[in-house]
Chains A and B, each alone.
Chain A
Amino acid sequence: MSSIRRDIHTVRSVLAVCVGLLLCALFLTAYSSRNPHVARVGSAMISELVMPVSQAVHYIRSTFIATLDSYVLLVGTEEENAKLRAELDSLKTNVDLAHELEIENVRLRNLLALVNAHKGTTVTAASVIGGDPGGWTHSIAINKGSSAGVEVGMGVIHPRGVVGQVVSVSSHGARVLLVDDPASSVDVLLQESRARGLLEGTGRETTTMQFVDKSQLVKEGDRVVTSGMDLVFPKGMLVGFVRKVSYHVGDIFKQVEVRPSIEFSKLEEVLVVHVARPTASSSTNIGQN
């Protein structure tokens, strides 16, 4: 392009045209100043043509500003977020605690109802603090021991039924053998037929009621309750429900399979019964525990 040699005549001609155009422009300026509507002719069309670009720029600008604003707003959000999360966790814990307290309240009300149902019976409320360490025996550990008046041989009950019997005691704890342990036996009777028997654990989910006379009418679903004759449990405490009854010709007793009324793995609070001790205080110890 630099090699373009311009003829002086051509340049002059073009300049002459430029002068003409300049005059034309001046004329247009003067005319449009008197007739402003002339200036608006075509302006709308130009505006329409440039509109897409304006819109694109507007979109980019809006997006950019929105992103920038979001970023600026995000400054400090992390800290606030962490604070709110901590607060939320705290509130969740409080809600869980309140819910747990509500459930515990219901359980303790049931325990109290049980105590009221057996007035004159001294009981000590205890919390279950562990299961069997070895896993071979069906027992639980409770947080009340000899210091709370708990002794070996005492019965342990729950609003839903009989739990077991205390087999060992320390000053601040005791171990309870559950009724489903093979080493456990409880004097029981069938609530309807009043047939007596001895409930023995099997080490499985069910227990067996021994020594039920073959003449006794026993059917599935019958309630099995304590007889109170062993001086360990109050009379009439629910132990379980008859699950299966069998009888072999020639046998003296019926074989009664009993499903305990309690799911031992879900025990949390229990009552240690002092009925076997006629000299024990007649007041309940629930309030103290």
Chain B
Amino acid sequence: MRYVMLGMVAMLFVALQTALFLIDVPLWLVPQCLVCIVVFLAFYECSFAAALGAFCLGLLLDIASGVSVGPWAGAYVFVFGFFLLLSQRLFIESRIVLVIATGVAAVMATLLFCLFAVESSSVGLGQLLAQGVATALSALIVFPTLQRLWRQGVADGQRWSASVM
């Protein structure tokens, strides 16, 4: 249930990111909302499903871009693993930590994408940082929403399990 909800949220984010292009927002200012989900999963869900979720999110972005399959999936899985390890040493309930971590994750994901992708466009440092900042700021909205959805998903899952048993 939780992952279905995350999938729907991810689809919405992809749609929004696609739509932002229409209103002439520079691409490097479009926040990587999916990275927020990846960081969220890394911080709050340590499971195979979460790793697979991060992979699928990347795959979703790859398929949506329609250029190549794999770079974003690999980047997101790497980011997930990195922040999964880091989450053991961070006070993840701090909003500042979440924001900074998300910003760093966005920069890292983009760099990894450029590394993995066979034909990637050149990314300037300024643009990279700008997108990191945009993503970090978007985390202020995305994280509370995801936390609320996650809790609701957990509760729904428990109720569903109880009703089945």
Give A residues with C-beta under 8 Å from B: 1-2, 4, 6, 10-11, 13-15, 17-19, 21-22, 24-33, 36, 38-43, 46-47, 49-50, 52-54, 56-58, 61
Contacts and interface: CB of A to CB of B under 8 A. Distances in A.
Chain B residues touching A, range: 35 or more
A30 B68 CA distance: 9
B44 interface: yes
Nearest to A62: B22
Contact of B116 (A25, A31, A39, A54): A25
A61 B24 CA distance: 10
A43 B69 CA distance: 10
Given A46-B64, A53-B12, A29 B23 contact: no
Contacts of B20: 57
Given A29-B71, A61-B23, A46 B85 contact: no
Contact of A50 (B19, B119, B147): B19
A174 B71 CA distance: 107
A90 B134 CA distance: 59
A6 B47 CA distance: 10
Contact of A46 (B63, B87, B93, B147): B63
Nearest to B72: A25
Contacts of A28: 69-70, 73
Contacts of B64: 43, 46-47, 50
Given A39-B66, A39-B68, A49-B11, A14 B84 contact: yes
B67 A39 contact: yes
B68 A33 contact: yes
Interface of B: 11-12, 14-16, 18-20, 22-23, 43-44, 46-48, 50-52, 54-55, 58, 60, 62-71, 73-75, 77-78, 80-81, 84-85, 87-88, 91-93, 116-119, 147
B14 A50 contact: yes
A30 B19 CA distance: 29
Provide the main secondary structure of the chain A interface.
helix
A43 B116 contact: no
A40 B68 CA distance: 8
Contact of B51 (A2, A17, A40, A57): A17
A39 B117 CA distance: 12
Contacts of A32: 68-70
Contacts of B92: 1-2
B15 A13 contact: no
Ordered nearest first, which 3 A-B pairs have the shortest CB separation?
A29-B70, A25-B74, A28-B70
Contacts of B11: 49-50
Contact of B52 (A21, A22, A40): A21
B74 A26 contact: yes
Contact of A4 (B19, B46, B51, B117): B46
A61 B25 CA distance: 12
